[in-house]
A and B are shown apart, each in its own frame.
Chain A
Amino acid sequence: MSRAALLVLADGRFPAGGHAHSGGAEAAVKAGRITGAESLESFCRGRLYTAGLVSSALATAAVLGVDPRQLDEAADARTPSPALRVAARKLGRQLLRAARATWPSPELDALAGQFPKGAHQPVVLGLTARAAGLEPVDAAYCAAYESVSGPASATVRLLSLDPFDATAVLARLAPELDRVATRAVEAARTAVEEGVDALPSASAPLLEIGAELHAAWPVRLFAS
């Protein structure tokens, strides 16, 4: 394996469609819940321990070889908002296209055949990490980091927030990213033994509600 592949996969410029999504930040900005760096940090922390932890554990379980179909169903069960399920599958499909071109593997081809309209993004992320020869913990970090880096860069565009402030928010969250990734790996290892019900199911109701409202706006900058 090459650990450097993690840098390729986690790079915000990896062409997998993430740039068009705000991770709920656009809805939160409109609702007045993100107004600057401080509230962005609170928002990201909340997202990290809920959607971020769940995504991280799903991705890790995929690297460990848990059946993708079961993981996709587990992701559905943990995503009440239909708009978020649609967004997660869209992003999964886009990631799969980029992954198959970047790290060709029979396993990724099989996944594309099994889910022609896309599997949940964290499931695809885990199998992509596997195809890239990465370790379970690498996928855990990648998913956890994505759960906060997306909203941070979207908020720079939405609020004209100072980009240095947004990046400093991500740096301050780093120790918590470590904790979430560690918990995700533990949960995923348990799921290998006990099944997908052992995966975390932390939920952020405001993210789910915000996503439903956002999907109905006639004018918006981001797809979700």
Chain B
Amino acid sequence: MHLDHSHDGPTALSADAHRKDGTRRALRIGLGGPVGSGKTATVAALCRALRDELSLAVVTNDIYTREDAEFLLREAVLPPERITAVETGACPHTAIRDDISANLEAVEDLEDEVGSLDLILVESGGDNLTATFSKGLVDAQIFVIDVAGGDDIPRKGGPGVTTADLLIVNKTDLAPYVGSDLARMAADAKAQRGELPVVFQSLRGEAGVTAVADWVRARLAAWTA
């Protein structure tokens, strides 16, 4: 099933770029990363930044609760019908990489029920440094780490840090308190990722999620071009 696949079947299978009625489907961006690195906070900030200009929805993958979905509902970043939670059976990386069927069902249902969508953010449950999204599920992926998790994470690498389309180093405001060396993290990330972009972000700072929102807009422009 590729981008130029003809669309006469009843439903799309995985990465088909078009919906069953022939219209182009929403861009899907995955957000993964370790527990507590700020994935849900970044998703919430992105929703606030983009919801007035785009039609968007969110799929959360919670490990054993609906906590992430409920946080987004409580914060009212989007109307409830635009937020769906997928249950992952104790294995968040399986649901985004090895067996993406439940997540595909969730994105398909959102497009069917909410109507025309520009963007769907798929948030992984917190996992380890090897967790990446399948290309059958998302078109681009963001990996979120934070300075408090240790400034050696970019050096350690792993598929998330080295191959994600965007690496976010979150909570930079905490760096002085936890003894993390941002310059060293930037150099290590550069060594691991080459030309792939890295954003250092503090959602408490004035710039907030701006750089990441701009990156998402650029991806969307490329998707719809």
Q: Which residues of A contact B (CB under 8 A)?
A: 13, 15-22, 90, 93-95, 97-98, 100-101, 109, 112-113, 116, 154, 157, 218-223
The CA of A95 and the CA of B9, in the complex, are separated in Å by 16
The CA of A90 and the CA of B103, in the complex, are separated in Å by 12
- B89 A154 Cβ-Cβ under 8 A: yes
- A16 B13 Cβ-Cβ under 8 A: no
Interface of A is mostly: helix
Residues of A with C-beta under 8 A to B94? 19-20
- B89 A97 Cβ-Cβ under 8 A: no
- A101 B14 Cβ-Cβ under 8 A: yes
- B64 A98 Cβ-Cβ under 8 A: no
- A221 B105 Cβ-Cβ under 8 A: no
Interface residues in B152-179 (C-beta closer than 8 Å to A): none
Q: Which of B63, B64, B90, B101 contacts A17 (CB 8 A)?
A: B101
Q: Is B100 an interface residue (CB 8 A)?
A: yes
Q: Shortest distance in angstroms between A46's beta carbon and chain B's nearest beta carbon?
A: 22
- B102 A94 Cβ-Cβ under 8 A: yes
Residues of A with C-beta under 8 A to B64? 219-221
The CA of A157 and the CA of B90, in the complex, are separated in Å by 8
Residues of A with C-beta under 8 A to B213? none
The CA of A157 and the CA of B89, in the complex, are separated in Å by 9
How many chain B residues have a CB neighbour from A under 8 Å? 24
- B11 A21 Cβ-Cβ under 8 A: no
For B65, B95, B101, the residue with the greatest tally of chain A CB atoms inside 10 Å of its CB is B101
- A219 B65 Cβ-Cβ under 8 A: yes
- B90 A101 Cβ-Cβ under 8 A: no
The CA of A15 and the CA of B11, in the complex, are separated in Å by 17
Q: Shortest distance in angstroms between A105's beta carbon and chain B's nearest beta carbon?
A: 11
Residues of B with C-beta under 8 A to A219? 64-65
| B87 (CB) vs chain A CBs: closest residue | A223
Instruction: Report the 8 A-B pairs with minimum CB-CB distance, sorted nearest first.
Output: A20-B89, A94-B101, A113-B10, A15-B99, A223-B87, A112-B10, A17-B101, A221-B90
Q: Which residues of B contact A (CB under 8 A)?
A: 1, 9-11, 13-14, 63-66, 87-91, 94-95, 98-102, 104-105
The CA of A15 and the CA of B13, in the complex, are separated in Å by 12
Q: Shortest distance in angstroms between A27's beta carbon and chain B's nearest beta carbon?
A: 14
- B101 A16 Cβ-Cβ under 8 A: yes
Q: Shortest distance in angstroms between B95's beta carbon and chain A's nearest beta carbon?
A: 7
Residues of A with C-beta under 8 A to B13? 97, 100-101
A116/B65 contact (C-beta < 8 A), A15-B99, A98-B101, A223-B87 known: no
Q: Which of A15, A93, A220 contacts B100 (CB 8 A)?
A: A15
The CA of A70 and the CA of B150, in the complex, are separated in Å by 58
Q: Shortest distance in angstroms between B98's beta carbon and chain A's nearest beta carbon?
A: 6
The CA of A37 and the CA of B101, in the complex, are separated in Å by 30
| A91 (CB) vs chain B CBs: closest residue | B101
Q: Shortest distance in angstroms between A56's beta carbon and chain B's nearest beta carbon?
A: 22
16 CB-based A-B contacts, threshold 8 Å: A15-B98, A16-B99, A17-B99, A19-B89, A20-B88, A20-B94, A20-B95, A97-B11, A98-B101, A100-B13, A101-B1, A112-B10, A112-B11, A116-B10, A220-B64, A220-B87
- A112 B9 Cβ-Cβ under 8 A: yes
- A97 B65 Cβ-Cβ under 8 A: no
- A93 B91 Cβ-Cβ under 8 A: no
- B65 A20 Cβ-Cβ under 8 A: no
